[in-house]
Amino acid sequence: MRELFDAMSRHASEAGGKAAVSDSEGTIQRSELLAKVIGLAADIKSQSGTIGILAPNGIDWVIAQLACAYAGKIAVPLPTFFSLAQLGHVVRSASVGLILTTDQTKPLTLQSGVKTGRIGDHAAAVDSPDPVDGFGQIIYTSGSTGQPKGVRHESGQIAWSAAALAAATGATAEDTYLSVLPLPLLLETICSIFIPAMLGAYVHFDTTLAEQVGRGDAKGISKAFDLKQPTTSVVVPQLLKQWVGELQVAGSRAPASLRFLAVGGASVPRQVADKAWNLGIPVHGGYGLSECCSVVALNRPGERRADTVGRPLNGLDVSIDDGEIVVDGPSITDGYLGQGPAQRPWRTGDLGAIDQNGFLTIHGRKDSLIVTSFGRNISPEWIETMLLGDLRIAFCAVVGHGEPHLTAVIVPSGPAVSWFANASYQDVLGLISDCCSGAPEYAVPRACIVTSLQEAANKQLLTNGRPARTQIEKFVAARKPPAPAI
């Protein structure tokens, strides 16, 4: 991280009064940001244990994150969308000794029994001690099978990934980045904090929208981009669908300022991507996982290939072994918290293929493969991506292992709730059939359940916006949708 702080010092010296970060509460300039980072780093330098960060998206989080890096500490982002039980598990398992927080989020820490420090109480630096080596981060995934699991990046993975992503996306100091995803997501941390700090670019945090997104609500995304006119950002597929829908309803287009928009977290349906491009949203899909520091492959500006996730980042070795994607290189995790070192190369558990030009295509999870009672092998992600291409569907999952046919579980998007409420069961099956017109007959779901986002959350059908497949199978078994006609 020394190179990062050398760059920040240079930017502060060259144009210290230039805006670096803003949020709904105000703006902080380059020189002030660096001084506050160093000041907080000096205060936490002697702190034992890992350091938790629990704050809204914005200036305070940026200061805390960079201070941990400057002081050579292991940081643990604490998601505000985790339950109190999950937060308690993270604090205990990661041996958090101090939680950096704000007045808004401090109440969430009261049950932890851990010392807290208000980020804004720390004075700016009066001198500039050298940064300390040793920075790392423990990332917690929500976990579909129980308690969140910690992924350790303590050997320079974040710095390497930030540099590789900046190069791949053509990022420069002239960029304006709009942050709309919660900062506990490692990809957002890299793209909204480390890359702008390294380049001297400007970033704005839409704190309110990020909190909404953490709760599964993406309304207002079009307004956020119109207001800030950014050049670049990162969204997830559901945010993209919401944005496309809002633009279509308003009869408008995305800001002409946008040059690059990365979409991560899941596959982007071809229909949605095409609509986005037609509306001025420069969508570039990618692929990654927490264990590989969030990004493995990415479609570059001017090199996008539809239906692929682009080429691997320079410096990563990506291969296919018996259909499984295998990755090695500087971004591989040190291992899971409480377990031994990670095995290299890293077997991702994802199925895919690489074409002759090096572009990677994802086929789904190896462990989610459905085998019907007729012996047909089906990757549910393949069919789910087709269904999600329709803007009326916000979330869906396909199950049917050992069954003669597939069943689709569907959550309507907000504008489509009335359509589904008035549609017959056969109407919904017709919609499914239309969405899956490119699939063979055996892969088209022949039964369905339409449910609400609230019920899906209550039944724990989603994990970080992704299908919790074991829970969904139990949900379908309990509901027993009508059997298709023979």
- Closest by Cα among 178, 179, 183, 177 to 198: 177
Q: Which tokens in the block code for residue 165?
A: 């992503």
For residues 279-301, give the mean pLDDT. Answer: 96
Top-confidence residue, 14 or 82: 14
The lowest-confidence range among 135-144, 353-362, 368-377, 398-407 is 135-144
Contact 263, 234 (CB under 8 A): yes
Distance of CA 440 to the CA centre of its chain: 32
Confidence grade of residue 196 (pLDDT, cut at 50, 70, 90): very high
Q: How far apart are the first and last CA of the chain?
A: 63
The pLDDT value given to residue 108: 80
Rounded to 10 deg, the angle between the 30-44 and 59-70 helix axes is 60
Query: Which residues fall within 8 angstroms of residue 8, CB to CB, at 6 or more apart?
Result: 30, 33, 34, 37, 197, 198, 200
Whether the pLDDT of residue 188 is over 70: the answer is yes
Whether the pLDDT of residue 370 is over 70: the answer is yes
- Closest by Cα among 318, 236, 315 to 269: 236
Location of structure tokens 């579980």: 409
The pLDDT value given to residue 140: 87
For residues 187-194, give the mean pLDDT. Answer: 98
> Is residue 55 packed enough to be buried (19+ CB in 10 Å), middle (13-18) or exposed (0-12)?
buried
Confidence grade of residue 146 (pLDDT, cut at 50, 70, 90): low
For residues 288-297, give the mean pLDDT. Answer: 96
* Per-chain mean pLDDT for the chain: 92
The pLDDT value given to residue 168: 98
Contact 140, 149 (CB under 8 A): yes
Confidence grade of residue 145 (pLDDT, cut at 50, 70, 90): very low
Share of the chain above pLDDT 70, in %: 98
Nearest-angstrom CA–CA distance, 373 and 367: 17
Location of structure tokens 């959350």: 457
The pLDDT value given to residue 257: 98
Top-confidence residue, 31 or 466: 31
- Closest by Cα among 32, 35, 6 to 18: 32
What is the sign of the dihedral through the CA atoms of 15, 21, 22 and 27?
Answer: negative
The pLDDT value given to residue 66: 98
Contact 146, 86 (CB under 8 A): no
> Is residue 240 packed enough to be buried (19+ CB in 10 Å), middle (13-18) or exposed (0-12)?
buried
Q: Which CATH number fits domain 2-361: 3.40.920.10, 3.40.50.12780, 3.40.50.11540, 3.40.50.920?
A: 3.40.50.12780
Whether the pLDDT of residue 234 is over 90: the answer is yes
pLDDT tens per residue across span 235-287: 988 899 999 999 999 999 999 999 999 998 778 888 999 999 999 999 999 99
Top-confidence residue, 340 or 110: 340
Rounded to 10 deg, the angle between the 380-388 and 425-435 helix axes is 110
With helix as H, strand as E and coil as C, how does the chain read? CHHHHHHHHHHHHHHCCCEEEEECCEEEEHHHHHHHHHHHHHHHCCCCCEEEEECCCCHHHHHHHHHHHHCCCEEEECCCCCCHHHHHHHHHHCCEEEEEECCCCHHHHCCCCCEEEEHHHCCCCCCCCCCCCCCEEEEEECCCCCCCEEEEECCCHHHHHHHHHHHHHCCCCCCEEEECCCCCCHHHHHHHHHHHHHHCCEEEECHHHHHHHHCCCCCCHHHHHHHHCCCEEEECHHHHHHHHHHHHHHCCCCCCCCCEEEECCCCCCHHHHHHHHHCCCCEEEEECCHHHCCCCEECCCCCCCCCCCCEECCCCEEEEECCEEEEECCCCCCEECCCCCCCCCEEEEEEEEECCCCCEEEEEEHHHCEECCCCCEECHHHHHHHHHCCCCEEEEEEECCCCCCCEEEEEECHHHHHHHHHCCHHHHHHHHHHHCCCCCHHHCCCEEEECCHHHHHHCCCEECCEECHHHHHHHHHHHCCCCCCC
Whether the pLDDT of residue 295 is over 80: the answer is yes
For residues 361-367, give the mean pLDDT. Answer: 90
The pLDDT value given to residue 182: 93
For residues 120-128, give the mean pLDDT. Answer: 75
Nearest-angstrom CA–CA distance, 429 and 272: 21
The pLDDT value given to residue 147: 65
The pLDDT value given to residue 386: 94
pLDDT tens per residue across span 416-444: 999 999 999 999 999 999 999 989 999 99
The pLDDT value given to residue 300: 97
For residues 349-373, give the mean pLDDT. Answer: 92
Whether the pLDDT of residue 302 is over 80: the answer is yes
Strand-pair category, 202-205 with 19-23: parallel
Nearest-angstrom CA–CA distance, 130 and 9: 11
For residues 155-160, give the mean pLDDT. Answer: 97
Q: Thinking of the domain 369-479, which architecture would CATH place it in? A: 2-Layer Sandwich (3.30)
The pLDDT value given to residue 486: 52
The pLDDT value given to residue 87: 85
Nearest-angstrom CA–CA distance, 216 and 149: 21
For residues 168-186, give the mean pLDDT. Answer: 96
Whether the pLDDT of residue 169 is over 90: the answer is yes
Nearest-angstrom CA–CA distance, 154 and 30: 27
Contact 284, 302 (CB under 8 A): no
For residues 456-461, give the mean pLDDT. Answer: 89
The pLDDT value given to residue 216: 76
Strand-pair category, 149-153 with 324-328: unpaired
For the chain, the domains span: 2-361, 369-479
Contact 235, 210 (CB under 8 A): no
The pLDDT value given to residue 144: 43
Contact 114, 132 (CB under 8 A): no
Q: Could you check whether 2-361 and 369-479 share the same CATH topology?
A: no
Whether the pLDDT of residue 464 is over 80: the answer is no
For residues 59-83, give the mean pLDDT. Answer: 93
